[in-house]
Amino acid sequence: MEVNTYVLGPRRLFIEVYNAFELSMKELGHKVNRINEGFLKGGTRKWGDKEWENEVHGWPYITEGINIFMVGSASILKDERSKLPKNSVNILYNFEQTRIHNSERFDYIFSIFEHFIDNIYCPLGWSPVYESNLTVNEEDIDVLYLGKDIYNKYKDIITNNIAYDEERNDMILRSKINVIFERWPMYRFPTLRYLLIACKKKFVLSEEHPSYDRIIPGKHVFVSRNIRDDIGYWLKEKDKRWEFANSAYDSLKHSCNYTGFLNDALKRLNI
């Protein structure tokens, strides 16, 4: 199979997902043509205390064949579906937990979240792309939360930062404990954020969530009912943290492999 990919959305937020997809497709014997990368409609994006201008590349020229539109937010396609070619197979690969209305122009919808009536579920999983070649000499950050904000009651014990690429990887590796919080009630367990940490063999502590996708509480992630008490305990237990993180990594690699998930999803395509 030969597919054309169109990366529509903030590149820096999802670049690892794009790269993991391409690597797994190649492992499965498929050819991937990345036609464009990074599309936004303009205006200003604000995240925490950081603000930047969106790049505007315009709607890309769409080739014939099997087209996969990889989007960080399906809402950016609201006014653009009419430009999808009718003589091609058009697949939407949605990375956010949002409903897509009026999606009749798409032949298939891949989704990492099961929020659609007619979709092919393709969850994220372990990929070597999420690992890191960086080495650190010291775990000098006790507790790290990668994100916009944290609850005020935890700011005295948790470091939070918005970082990307190597800066983010460095902070993850330097942290004794990486914490995951539920940002909004509508969101399920943030699988991508988890994988960016756990695939580096780092310990992940999460507050209780209603769903964990294919991530098993107690096996892949430690689920806390008392954040302060559990942080205090795990900070003292270096060997147990290491054992838990390495066991979680090994299990993810064998039972939650992204190439396997993608292969299962592709088998459901009638093309």
Q: What is the pLDDT of residue 90?
A: 83
Q: pLDDT-based confidence at 56, cuts 50/70/90?
A: very low
Q: pLDDT tens digit string along 2-22?
A: 999 887 766 666 788 889 999
- CATH 3.40.50.2000 residue ranges of the chain are 129-255
Q: Residue 89 and residue 108: Cα distance in Å, rounded? A: 8
Close Cβ partners of 11 (under 8 Å, ≥ 6 residues apart)? 18, 37, 38
Of residues 48 and 128, which shows the higher confidence score? Answer: 128
Cα 16 from Cα 59, distance rounded (Å):
22
Name 52's Cβ contacts closer than 8 Å, sequence gap at least 6. 44, 45
Write down the pLDDT at residue 210: 58
Report the chain's terminal Cα–Cα distance, integer Å.
9
DSSP3 helix / strand / coil % (the chain, rounded to 5): 30, 25, 45
Which SS3 state, helix, strand or coil, does residue 172 take?
helix
What percent of the chain is predicted at pLDDT more than 90?
Answer: 38
Find out whether 28 and 259 touch, Cβ atoms under 8 Å. Answer: yes
For the chain, list the strands marked E by DSSP.
2-8, 31-37, 44-47, 50-53, 66-71, 89-94, 108-111, 120-121, 141-146, 159-161, 175-180, 204-207, 222-224
Is the pLDDT reported for residue 50 higher than 90?
no
CA distance 16 to 74: 18
* Residue 75, pLDDT above cutoff 50: yes
What average pLDDT does the segment 24-52 reach? 69
The CATH number that domain 129-255 falls under is 3.40.50.2000
Task: Tell me which residue of 53, 52, 19, 23 sits closest to 37, measured CA to CA.
Answer: 19
265-267-271 Cα angle (round to 5):
110
Give per-residue pLDDT as tens, 158-216: 888 778 888 899 999 999 999 988 665 445 567 888 999 999 999 999 987 756 778 89
| pLDDT computed for residue 125 by the predictor | 93
Across the range 241-246, mean pLDDT stands at 97
Does residue 65 or residue 78 have the better pLDDT?
Answer: 65
CA separation (Å) from 31 to 1, 114, 149, 251? 6, 27, 40, 29
* Measured CA distances, 158 to 106, 200, 215, 239 (Å): 43, 20, 24, 21
Alpha-carbon distances, residue 198 vs 46, 131, 201 (angstroms)? 27, 9, 5
What mean pLDDT, rounded, does the chain reach? 80
Phi, psi at 63, each rounded to 5°: -85, 165
Q: Which fold has domain 2-125+257-266?
A: Rossmann fold (3.40.50)
Q: Report the pLDDT value the prediction gives residue 71, as an integer from 0 to 100.
A: 76
More confidently predicted of 251 and 69: 251
Q: What is the pLDDT of residue 200?
A: 96
What average pLDDT does range 116-145 have in this prediction? 86
Give the tens place of pLDDT for each residue, 245-268.
999 999 999 999 999 999 999 998
Q: Is the pLDDT of residue 42 over 50?
A: no
Cross-strand pairs, 91: 68, 108
Task: Please report the pLDDT score of residue 196 as a whole number.
Answer: 92
